[in-house]
Amino acid sequence: MMISRVGQVISEGKVAFFEREVAAPKKDEVIIRIKASALCGSDLHTYKAAHPTVPLPATIGHEFSGDIAALGSTVHHLSIGQRVTAEPCEACGVCEACLKGEYGSCDKLSFIYRRGDGAMADYITVKAASVFPLPGHMSYEAGALVEPTAVAVHAVRRADVRLGENVLVIGAGAIGLITAALCKRMGAHEVIVTDMDPFRLEMAKILGATRTVDPGNGEDLSETVRLATGGRGVDKSFECVGRESTFVQAVTSLRKQGLATVVGIFEKPQITFCVMPLINNELRIQGSQGYCWDFPTALQMAAEIGVERLATHFFDLEDLKSALDTALDRSSRSIKVLLKP
């Protein structure tokens, strides 16, 4: 019998663990013994009791890797002990979007942690169809970061970044950094990254940013965009923060007929901005949530980019609160905080 500790945010700034017996997997499921689990921005919003769609109490954690500990009776393409990661979203499989293969737009799309089986735990049970073996050279740490890589892959694919385009990425958290790296790999000419954290901006340069902007140090984003684009504005922008001010920057930095892709989670989803530039310049704004058929590409990109470089802090599972506090503390110089059971 396997017993799993599961981390839960019980109220703002407070976490607790509960233990549960891990039930035998259903015929199409596998049980994974977690080796590394990463904190996501959505976990931090939940910890602050500020996630717009996750009420408390809530289990957290959906970026992870580990070893297969048990297999359902009809699972024959995987094996006990195999090193894997998993796509943590759940789609119904029968709505119109799912039947078209667009499961990322499923009417009932959810995530495994929302049913109480989060990845801040010893074990997690997932559908075998969502499991992806790790390449032999990939560490557990990199494997835990395949999920955020998939988020960035999806955003860049939706934006259709092309050779020679100029791109702005607002926010140098893990998603923003990986997005910048992918844009450069897609052939973007200028990749401008802006953030208030000098450490993260240095990482952005390592991953391929051509210019960085730190407004907290008096640097002017509008002027940088003007100089980089000859005054035209960027072709594509990515909002990876989730604030009204950064949304406005993503829109106002665009050239005529440019495209802004909004990725950040907005703790305050009601925002105000001037709509006339949207009309006069024929701008486009789109959202990007999660992923859809992006994990295979993300596995390859995570390896090529070297995403394990984003893992800056490591904690034992029982130190989950300290890990969350560290991830929220700008002075900690954290990018990705990982926990290991």
Q: Coil, helix or strand for 139? A: coil
The tens-digit pLDDT sequence of the chain (341 residues) is 899 999 999 999 999 999 999 999 999 999 999 999 999 988 999 999 998 888 899 999 999 999 999 999 999 999 999 999 999 998 999 999 999 999 999 999 988 877 778 999 999 999 999 999 999 999 999 999 999 999 999 999 999 999 999 999 999 999 999 999 999 999 999 999 999 999 999 999 999 999 999 999 999 999 999 999 999 999 999 999 999 999 999 999 999 999 999 999 999 999 999 999 999 999 999 999 999 999 999 999 999 999 999 999 999 999 999 999 999 998 999 999 999 98
Q: Helices (DSSP H) in 62-167: which residue ranges?
A: 96-99, 140-144, 146-159
The architecture of the domain spanning 3-133+306-340 is: Alpha-Beta Complex (3.90)
pLDDT at residue 132, as a whole number: 98
CATH class for the region spanning 151-287: alpha beta
pLDDT at residue 112, as a whole number: 84
pLDDT at residue 117, as a whole number: 83
pLDDT at residue 322, as a whole number: 97
Q: How far apart are CA 217 and CA 211, in angstroms?
A: 15
pLDDT at residue 111, as a whole number: 85
pLDDT at residue 141, as a whole number: 97
Q: Kindly list the domain boundaries of the chain, sorted by start residue.
A: 3-133+306-340, 151-287
Q: How far apart are CA 185 and CA 208, in angstroms?
A: 8
pLDDT at residue 207, as a whole number: 97
**What are the DSSP calls for 266-291, one per residue?**
-SS-------HHHHHTT-EEEE--S-
The DSSP output letter for 121 is B
pLDDT at residue 114, as a whole number: 76
pLDDT at residue 341, as a whole number: 87
pLDDT at residue 110, as a whole number: 87
Q: How far apart are CA 268 and CA 341, in angstroms?
A: 34
Q: Coil, helix or strand for 5? A: strand
Amino acid at 163: L
pLDDT at residue 52, as a whole number: 86
Question: How crowded is residue 23: how many other Cβ atoms within 10 Å of its Cβ?
Answer: 12
